[in-house]
Amino acid sequence: GLGWERYYGGDPDLYQFHKHSSIDLISLPKDFSKFCSVHMYDIVVKNPNVFHKRTSIREDNDGGGPDEPNPTDWEREGTWGIT
Protein backbone atom coordinates (compact mmCIF):
# COMPACT_ATOMS: atom_id res chain seq x y z
CA GLY A 1 0.00 0.00 0.00
CA LEU A 2 0.88 3.65 -0.21
CA GLY A 3 0.40 4.30 3.52
CA TRP A 4 -2.90 6.16 3.23
CA GLU A 5 -5.72 5.32 5.65
CA ARG A 6 -9.40 6.13 5.38
CA TYR A 7 -10.38 9.34 7.19
CA TYR A 8 -13.91 9.55 8.56
CA GLY A 9 -15.71 12.67 9.67
CA GLY A 10 -15.38 14.81 6.57
CA ASP A 11 -17.71 15.54 3.68
CA PRO A 12 -20.22 12.67 3.27
CA ASP A 13 -19.95 12.90 -0.54
CA LEU A 14 -16.20 12.18 -0.46
CA TYR A 15 -13.86 9.35 0.36
CA GLN A 16 -10.99 10.91 2.27
CA PHE A 17 -7.58 9.46 3.11
CA HIS A 18 -4.74 10.67 5.33
CA LYS A 19 -1.22 9.64 6.32
CA HIS A 20 -0.10 9.67 9.94
CA SER A 21 3.25 11.09 8.81
CA SER A 22 1.77 14.25 7.24
CA ILE A 23 -1.09 16.72 7.34
CA ASP A 24 -2.07 15.84 3.76
CA LEU A 25 -5.58 14.69 2.99
CA ILE A 26 -6.69 13.19 -0.31
CA SER A 27 -10.37 13.65 -1.14
CA LEU A 28 -12.09 11.64 -3.86
CA PRO A 29 -15.73 11.82 -4.91
CA LYS A 30 -17.90 8.84 -3.97
CA ASP A 31 -19.57 9.29 -7.36
CA PHE A 32 -16.77 8.20 -9.69
CA SER A 33 -18.33 10.10 -12.61
CA LYS A 34 -17.22 13.26 -10.76
CA PHE A 35 -13.57 12.13 -10.62
CA CYS A 36 -11.48 14.59 -12.64
CA SER A 37 -7.90 15.66 -13.34
CA VAL A 38 -7.79 17.74 -10.13
CA HIS A 39 -8.28 14.55 -8.09
CA MET A 40 -5.60 12.71 -10.07
CA TYR A 41 -3.21 15.66 -9.66
CA ASP A 42 -3.82 15.57 -5.90
CA ILE A 43 -2.94 11.85 -5.80
CA VAL A 44 0.21 12.32 -7.89
CA VAL A 45 1.51 15.35 -5.97
CA LYS A 46 0.96 13.71 -2.58
CA ASN A 47 2.69 10.47 -3.66
CA PRO A 48 5.88 11.70 -5.38
CA ASN A 49 7.75 8.46 -4.64
CA VAL A 50 5.22 6.46 -6.68
CA PHE A 51 4.70 8.62 -9.76
CA HIS A 52 7.41 10.01 -12.02
CA LYS A 53 7.52 12.20 -15.10
CA ARG A 54 8.97 10.56 -18.15
CA THR A 55 11.42 12.57 -20.22
CA SER A 56 11.33 12.87 -23.97
CA ILE A 57 12.43 9.80 -25.90
CA ARG A 58 13.75 9.61 -29.44
CA GLU A 59 11.07 8.99 -32.05
CA ASP A 60 13.29 6.42 -33.80
CA ASN A 61 13.71 4.34 -30.64
CA ASP A 62 12.39 0.86 -31.35
CA GLY A 63 13.10 -0.37 -27.85
CA GLY A 64 16.76 -1.18 -28.44
CA GLY A 65 16.60 -4.90 -27.96
CA PRO A 66 14.51 -7.95 -27.21
CA ASP A 67 14.19 -7.10 -23.50
CA GLU A 68 13.13 -3.48 -24.04
CA PRO A 69 9.56 -2.87 -25.20
CA ASN A 70 8.64 -0.30 -27.80
CA PRO A 71 7.80 3.09 -26.30
CA THR A 72 4.11 3.76 -25.79
CA ASP A 73 2.31 7.08 -26.04
CA TRP A 74 2.32 7.62 -22.26
CA GLU A 75 6.11 7.40 -22.24
CA ARG A 76 6.47 10.42 -24.48
CA GLU A 77 7.39 13.89 -23.23
CA GLY A 78 5.07 15.49 -20.71
CA THR A 79 3.35 12.34 -19.51
CA TRP A 80 3.36 10.45 -16.23
CA GLY A 81 3.90 6.84 -15.25
CA ILE A 82 3.84 4.74 -12.12
CA THR A 83 7.14 3.66 -10.59
Which one is predicted more confidently, 77 or 31? 31
Q: Is the full-model pTM beyond 0.85?
A: no
Angle at 67 between CA 81 and CA 47, to 5 degrees: 20
The mean pLDDT of 31-56, rounded to a whole number, is 87
Q: What was the pLDDT predicted at 67?
A: 52
Q: Which of 40, 41, 48 is nearest to 22 (CA)?
A: 48
- Say whether pLDDT at 83 is over 70: no
80, 74 Cβ separation under 8 angstroms = yes
- Say whether pLDDT at 13 is over 90: yes
Q: Which of 44, 46, 40, 57 is nearest to 24 (CA)?
A: 46
Single-letter code of the amino acid located at 6: R
| Domain parsing of the chain, residue ranges | 5-82
What tens digit of pLDDT does each residue of 44-68 get?
999 888 887 776 655 555 555 555 5
